[in-house]
Amino acid sequence: MKIKNIRTQTILTPLKKKFKTALRSVDKIENICVFIETKGFTGIGCAVPTAVITGETAMSIKGAIQHIHEALSGLDIRDFEIVMQTLHACMKGNHSAKAAVDMALYDIIGKFYKTPLYRFLGGDGKCLETDMTVSIGTLEEMALDAREAVKNGFSILKLKLGREPGLDVNCLKAVRQAVGPEIRLRIDANQGWSPKQAVSFMDKIARENICIDLLEQPVHARDYKGMKFVRNNTDVPVYADESVFSPQDAMEIINMDAIDGINIKLMKCGGIYNALKIAAITESAGVGCMIGSMMESHIGVTAAAHLAAAKKVITGYDLDAPLFVKKAPAQGGITYNASIITLPDLPGLGHNING
């Protein structure tokens, strides 16, 4: 079970239409697929470059994986803790590259023990209900996209905002009118507001009697004081996304009483190994925990879904990204029935790369 080789393959997957947030605009996904080879098993993982959030590009991810290969070569995967500690100690940062390797390692360990990863992690393979993201756009575009999502069977919508608060309020009003009062709405500003703008937005929607489930990352990632200011001035739960890359980040922002919950993403935290630590911290602190993804294919989202299905503390699921892709770069993995995600009952992660 010694690691013999780690190789990468780049697969470009176009989106059905352009995806826009306050931070960036995307029309295709550059999947850096990772294959870890041992005697008898090959593990599969995937990273996506999201430079504006993680600081990583396709070239930096590939370079980091080559460095990780040198550090892990010859290690026995059955010594799993040693392998994981080596992975995270061999270089600073490079969270997405580490996440791809982490996924492939967990894929192998599941295959070795002949069990789906969610069972290896202690779960029962529960189905997950994901939200559907409504890309930032004009009032008419967002209302139309929201109505279409509801028509397609989604009862929870996540709206991308983060512009001038007055404009964002109008877009939110249009979406609420388009989908009716029963549909649950989440707001993600992707760091787009100042603390005062965020509070102004929340005051305005309160006056309009517009109910939302939560407000995600209203201010700059490192502005923990700003997050606390927003939390102290609204009754809606405030969740951190880009503010939390590591277990240490999670502890710091929770200790400041700055948030009500955390959105874990494998590309930010370096994979399942660290995501488990963040989930344990949220559970111990009594704050909320949800799981999401970057705009990525179902290779990485399948890994996130296995983790989500294994941990009861994770109660929110923002795992719709593969639904934006024209053609999946892999076979197997998770499947969707409208908003319901079903996990594969195969060893490891349960997918294979096409071609």
Structure tokens at 13: 């997957």
Q: What is the rounded distance in angstroms from the CA atom of residue 314 to the CA atom of residue 239?
A: 13
Q: Which residue among the candidates 160, 228, 268, 311 is catalytic per the annotation?
A: 160
Which uninterrupted H or E stretch holds 90?
Answer: none
Contact call for residues 72 and 6 (beta carbons, < 8 A): yes
Contact call for residues 41 and 53 (beta carbons, < 8 A): no
307 Rama class: left (phi>0) / alpha (psi -120 to 50) / beta: alpha
Which uninterrupted H or E stretch holds 156?
Answer: strand 156-160
Burial class (CB in 10 A: 0-12, 13-18, 19+), 260: middle
DSSP reduced 3-state for 5: strand
Q: Which residue among the candidates 111, 265, 268, 311 is catalytic per the annotation?
A: 265
Neighbouring-strand partners of residue 325: 15
DSSP state of 223: -
Contact call for residues 83 and 109 (beta carbons, < 8 A): no
Residue 160 designated active-site: yes
Catalytic residues: 160, 265
